[in-house]
Amino acid sequence: MSSNLKQTPLYQTFVDSGAKIVEFGGWAMPVQFSSIKEEHNAVRTAVGLFDVSHMGEVLIEGPEADQLVQYLLSNDTDQLTTEKAQYTALCNEDGGIIDDLITYKLADQSYLLVVNAGNTDKDFEWMQQHAQDFDAQVTNVSNQYGQLAVQGPEARGLIQEHVDIDVSEMKPFEFKTNVSCFGKNVILSQSGYTGEDGFEIYCEAQDTVEIWDNLIDNNVVPCGLGARDTLRLEAGLPLHGQDLTESITPYEAGIAFAAKPLIEADFIGKSVLKDQKENGSKRRAVGLEMIDKGIPRTGYKVYDLDNNEIGEVTSGTQSPFSGKSIALALIERSEFELDKEVLVQVRKRQVKAKIVKKNQISK
């Protein structure tokens, strides 16, 4: 593993705990603490804790912050009110997804954009480049924040015990600023990447270890990137760099809800996305469930039963919860039909699978 990798404030804590550390997006991150299966199942049945401090944060403020944020992003940011968040895409002129991200409206003309770790520098440069025509400041504040994700059916009750606000009615993509969590000032967001109820805590970087330790002392299971990946894949949530790329549009990727090309305001990629909304895209994301034995992996080709290539797997794994081999794939739109059988090229053999809904959580 390279010695040049970035480290979150919790790196030494993970080394001391014996977690298995891997390289991810230029960061040294824990892939697992106990086992991926144990961690995955803890989140599905109880509560787990993830360090996601490697995620990037970009602050956009100024008299024309509203206009700049809308110009950069594919969703309708005019619908955002203070302390509301929104899932969206940063698109290029062809409608391809440079990154997917969460936009937090902190106040009037003030936004925090939370981007994927491996894309932070690229995203920041793109935003700065396009900010030149707007009276707004774009600042990379990633080093100021730690970020922890508390996920699972018991997450809400646990969080309630350790914050000074009522979280019982908080809905997805709502957040609160200036929340006291274990005596530390945090942003508390009702969000996550697991398909479960959960919260994400944004704290000052120097407070990350103390909040983590306090949560672990409350019998929360520490979880690594391995379980984070199997959980999101089981829930049908896309990963940038695999299911989302600069050559895949929101309509192809199955995140059309994050694209609003019919709004009056202009944004980058709008014309291509408007055409796809009105006329359809040639490809679409689907879920796959393997019928025969074999684990589908990224890049494996997908064929119809007449052996015509119709697409490829973008993410695949064996679900730790159900034991089934599952995948997300990008196929020709004309081939989509739920329960339709297809073939996946797994190494030197073709194995049968069926097209299913992307969300494959089964309890």
Segments in 185-243 forming alpha helices (H): 208-217, 225-234
Q: What is the DSSP string of 60-101?
A: EESTTHHHHHHHHBSS-GGG--TTBEEEEEEE-TTS-EEEEE
pLDDT above 80 for 229: yes
Six-digit token pair at 101? 């991200």
| Collapsed DSSP state (helix, strand, coil) of residue 222 | strand
CATH code for the domain defined by 11-55+144-234: 3.30.1360.120
Q: Which CATH class is domain 282-363?
A: mainly beta
Cα(228)–Cα(218) distance, integer angstroms: 21
| Residue 351 scores a pLDDT above 70 | yes
For residue range 163-172, list pLDDT tens digits in order.
999 999 999 9
Alpha-carbon gap, residue 254 to 258, rounded angstroms: 9
Q: What percent of the chain has pLDDT over 90?
A: 97
Which residue carries 């969590």 as its tokens?
181
- The answer to whether residue 360 scores a pLDDT higher than 90 is yes
- Give 189-225 pLDDT, tens digit per residue: 999 999 999 999 999 999 999 999 999 999 999 999 9
Structural contact between residues 60 and 109, judged by C-beta atoms closer than 8 angstroms: no
pLDDT interval class at 362 (50, 70, 90): confident
Please report the DSSP string for 263-323 in residue order.
SSS--TTHHHHHHHHHH--SEEEEEEEESSS----TT-EEE-TT--EEEEEEEEEE-TTT-
Order of all β-strands in the sheet with 184-189: 175-181, 184-189, 198-204, 145-151, 48-51, 221-223
Model confidence over 115-165: pLDDT tens digits?
999 999 999 999 999 999 999 999 999 999 999 999 999 999 999 999 999
| The pLDDT value given to residue 2 | 67
Residue 321 is predicted with a pLDDT of 85
Write the CB contacts of 221 (distance below 8 Å, at least 6 apart in sequence): 33, 34, 38, 39, 42, 43, 46, 47, 48, 49
200 is in an annotated binding site: yes
Domain ranges of the chain: 11-55+144-234, 282-363
Q: What is the pLDDT of residue 1?
A: 64
* Token pair belonging to 292: 């025969």
How high is the pLDDT of residue 363?
A: 58
The pLDDT > 70 percentage for the chain reads: 99
- Mean pLDDT, residues 63-72 taken together: 99
Kindly report, residue by residue over 28-58, the tens digit of the pLDDT.
Answer: 999 999 999 999 999 999 999 999 999 999 9
